[in-house]
Amino acid sequence: MNEKWPMLKIHNASKSFNGVEVLNNVSLEVAKSDVLGLAGPSGSGKSTLLRCIQQLEILDGGSMECDGKIGFMFQDFQLFPHLTVLQNLLYALNLGEKNARRRQSNEMQAKIMLKNLGIEAKASMYPYSLSGGQKQRVALARSLMVDPDVLLCDEPTSGLDVATTMDVVLLLKSACETGVTMIIASHDLDFLTKISNRIVLLRDGKIVLDVDVKQCQDPVNHLKKYYAD
Amino acid sequence: MDTVISNCIYLGKGLIFTLELTMGSIAVGLALGVFLSVLRHCRICVSLVRGWSSIIRGTPLILQLSIIYFSIPNLIGVRMNILSAGIIAFGLNSSAYVAEILRSGIESLPKGQFEAARTLGIPTFYMWRDIILPQVAMNILPTLVNEVIALLKETTLISIIGGMDIMRRSQIVAAEQFEYFMPLCIAGVYYYCLAMLIEFIGEKIERKVAYAKNS
Ligand SMILES: Nc1ncnc2c1ncn2[C@@H]1O[C@H](COP(=O)(O)OP(=O)(O)O)[C@@H](O)[C@H]1O
Ligand SMILES: [Mg+2]
């Protein structure tokens, strides 16, 4: 298998809301198993780009091609409040699954996933009783349960304290090790440089910078220059 | 004392009729109301649902009841019994109100819940049945209980097509015995007990689902 096979190809994507252009001819290729950080100030179009990739929004122009299943992690998690943690993980997977043995193995898999994330004790709890970091884990687990080839994460650290942010870095890193391609949108450059091998900077719906994190001496400061003016 | 007991028994038969009528109507109203409110999210059906809602809410219930009991059998040549005509009329009527309650419940749910269901590949039918409607049901339960109590009180209109409900029976007793106070009091107590029963059941359900109220 070619490691640098493009998993996702975006060509001249554009999108406007009420006449205001939010994405302006964005072109981007993401290689398989890449972890791409999507940086940019608030309002630069990061969420919109992710939502277009997931087809929650329809592009006005340009094209997108994805070579696999997409998983999505919402900024505000969007866990199902009336289902327990375990049910949140299993519901979509077990839909239409009549084979009892496979349902059982799905449940085993979900429990292992919760255990790896350190929240196996919460399996039968409802989302309202979880902390922000715990909800984050459940959201990650839920999006990984359907076995995506590409995982899109929108601001996975927003609203989390420093220690929990570190946990999320480790979590996402361990998810990368499974070979899943990731695109992580965040305004937090420190966080992004810790986790991604490539960072793309969006400003006013345009890609203004594309850096290879390992090739760069001081990626945070390098990127910061483009943030200001 | 004997007359009190015999009046209680006589009106008690009306209590059963009223209960059947209310439960039948709310069953029809809920089923049709859920159907209508989901149909609202299908582009071609929106104006159909809106039109239905508008007609139902813009005409008197007594007229709707008369059309169903007197004029429809005339047109199609089949006579309906009073209870079924009542259940159909009150059920159709409350479906519009239930649909309206559901609509605001659905609209107040975060859009992200629909999107989360979509990103997980949950088909539309299951999304509505297992993800959206259970949450909406939880949120609108108190309003729905009010609607059922309002419906209970509206069923008194059944007397215009000859339905022997609590109200009608109390008037018959009053006319026969030239005494209004006692039969009307009994009727009041019966209605109040029914309303309290509905509220009690509503609170029971509410307590049971309260765990997921705030996410
Ligand atoms: N559904 C929408 N309707 C109207 N405007 C929107 C919508 N979604 C996003 N926008 C606008 O698009 C711009 C980019 O938003 P977004 O993609 O959320 O940026 P970011 O995630 O980088 O903060 C903002 O100005 C926002 O107001
Ligand atoms: Mg955003």
**B2-214 homologous superfamily:** MetI-like (1.10.3720.10)
**Residue closest to A138 by CA, chosen among A151, A152, A125:** A125
ipTM rounded to 2 decimals? 0.91
Those of residues 69-108 in A touching chain B at CB distance below 8 A are 70-72, 74, 76, 78-82, 91-92, 95
Asked if B112 has any chain A CB less than 8 Å from its own CB, the reply is yes
What pLDDT score does A221 carry? 80
| Structure-derived torsion over alpha carbons of residues B192, B196, B197, B201, reported in degrees to the nearest 10 | 160
Average pLDDT of span A108-136: 91
**Contact across the interface for A82 and B138, Cβ inside 8 Å:** yes
Question: Looking at the CA of A22, which ligand is closest?
Answer: 1
Where exactly are the structural domains of chain A? 1-68+149-229, 81-146
Residues of B in contact with A154 (CB under 8 A): none
- What do you get for the CA distance between the two ends of chain B, in Å? 56
**Contact across the interface for A81 and B116, Cβ inside 8 Å:** no
Where exactly are the structural domains of chain B? 2-214
* Interface size between A and B, measured as CB pairs under 8 A: 59
Question: Looking at the CA of A154, which ligand is closest?
Answer: 2
Is A169 in a helix, a strand, or coil? helix
Asked if B195 has any chain A CB less than 8 Å from its own CB, the reply is no
**Contact across the interface for A128 and B113, Cβ inside 8 Å:** no
**Contact across the interface for A91 and B122, Cβ inside 8 Å:** yes
Measured between alpha carbons, how far is A222 from A91 in angstroms, rounded to an integer? Answer: 44
What pLDDT score does B215 carry? 44
Measured between alpha carbons, how far is B42 from B65 in angstroms, rounded to an integer? Answer: 30
- What Cα–Cα distance (Å) separates residue B128 from each residue in B36, B109, B136? 13, 12, 10
Asked if B116 has any chain A CB less than 8 Å from its own CB, the reply is yes
- Within chain B, residue ranges assigned H as helices are 2-39, 46-58, 61-66, 72-76, 82-107, 111-119, 124-126, 133-154, 166-177, 181-209
Residue B205 backbone dihedrals phi, psi, to 5 degrees: -65, -40
**Which residues does a 6 A CB cutoff place in the pocket of ligand 1?**
A 17-18, 22, 40, 42-48
Query: Taking a C-beta distance cutoff of 8 angstroms, is the pair A44, A148 a contact?
Result: no
**Residue closest to B147 by CA, chosen among B54, B25, B11:** B25
Best probe residue, ligand 1, of A24, A46, A47, A153 (max atoms within 8 Å of C-beta)? A47
Average pLDDT, rounded, for chain B = 93
Q: Whose CA is nearest to atom 27 of ligand 1?
A: A43
CA distance A125 to chain B (A): 10
CA distance B127 to chain A (A): 10
Give percent helix, percent strand, percent coil of chain A, each to the nearest 5: 40, 25, 35
pLDDT digits (tens, 9 = 90+) for A48-95: 999 999 999 999 999 999 989 999 999 999 999 999 999 999 999 999
Which fold is adopted by the domain A1-68+149-229?
Rossmann fold (3.40.50)
Query: Taking a C-beta distance cutoff of 8 angstroms, is the pair A164, A136 a contact?
Result: yes
Task: Record the pTM.
Answer: 0.87
Asked if A54 has any chain B CB less than 8 Å from its own CB, the reply is yes
Residue B197 reports pLDDT greater than 90: yes
- What Cα–Cα distance (Å) separates residue A107 from each residue in A60, A72, A84? 41, 21, 13
Structure tokens at A112: 């292992």
Helix (H) / strand (E) element for A168: namely: helix A162-176
Structure confidence at residue B210 as a pLDDT band (50, 70, 90): confident
Considering only A157-161, B57-61, B118-122, B194-198, which range has the smallest mean pLDDT? A157-161
